[in-house]
Amino acid sequence: MPHVYILRCADGSYYTGSTIDLEMRMAQHQTGYFQGYTSSRLPVALIWQQEFPTKHEAFLSERQIKGWSRVKKEALIRGDIDAIHEIVKRERKQREAKKHHS
């Protein structure tokens, strides 16, 4: 099954990815197999994951989460769906206020 996952890197940052084999992907991240974001921030820890029925749905979810603010990702990690809804409302109000001041 495809998974979307969030890692906490050694520097405290988050990395979001997707894979069809979570165990293998975690091993790859831990060894620095992928040269890039996580390889320079080892070790990493898996702090959230969710299965999806299709690779396409996992990909769409990954892209969405990657665009989220840190505070929204932390609400997801905690499983606090109500907080995510409140953050969305607050962000929407901030965008509307910016439009009116432009």
Q: What is the CATH number of the domain that holds 35?
A: 3.40.1440.10
Question: Do 54 and 85 sit in the same domain of this protein?
Answer: no
Question: Do 30 and 11 sit in the same domain of this protein?
Answer: yes
Is the backbone of residue 6 left (phi > 0), alpha (psi -120 to 50) or beta?
A: beta
Question: Do 40 and 16 sit in the same domain of this protein?
Answer: yes
The radius of gyration computed from the CA coordinates of the chain, to the nearest angstrom, equals: 16
Tell me how many domains the chain contains: 2
Domain extent at residue 37: 1-67
**What pLDDT, on the 0 to 100 scale, is given for residue 12?**
98
Question: Do 36 and 73 sit in the same domain of this protein?
Answer: no
Map residue 21 onto helix, strand or coil.
Answer: coil
**What pLDDT, on the 0 to 100 scale, is given for residue 102?**
66
- Helix and strand counts by DSSP (H, E) for the chain: 4, 3
Task: Please tell me the pTM assigned to this model.
Answer: 0.89
Question: Do 14 and 54 sit in the same domain of this protein?
Answer: yes
Residue 23 tokens read as 């165990």
For the segment 26-43, what is each residue's pLDDT rounded down to a tens digit? Answer: 999 999 998 999 999 999
Q: How far apart are CA 22 and CA 27, in angstroms?
A: 9
Q: How many CB atoms lie within 10 A of CB 51?
A: 11
Question: Do 34 and 3 sit in the same domain of this protein?
Answer: yes
Q: What is the mean pLDDT of residues 72-99?
A: 92
Question: At 99, is the pLDDT very low, low, confident or very high (cuts 50, 70, 90)?
Answer: confident
For the segment 47-84, what is each residue's pLDDT rounded down to a tens digit? Answer: 999 999 999 999 999 999 999 999 999 999 999 999 99
Question: Do 29 and 48 sit in the same domain of this protein?
Answer: yes
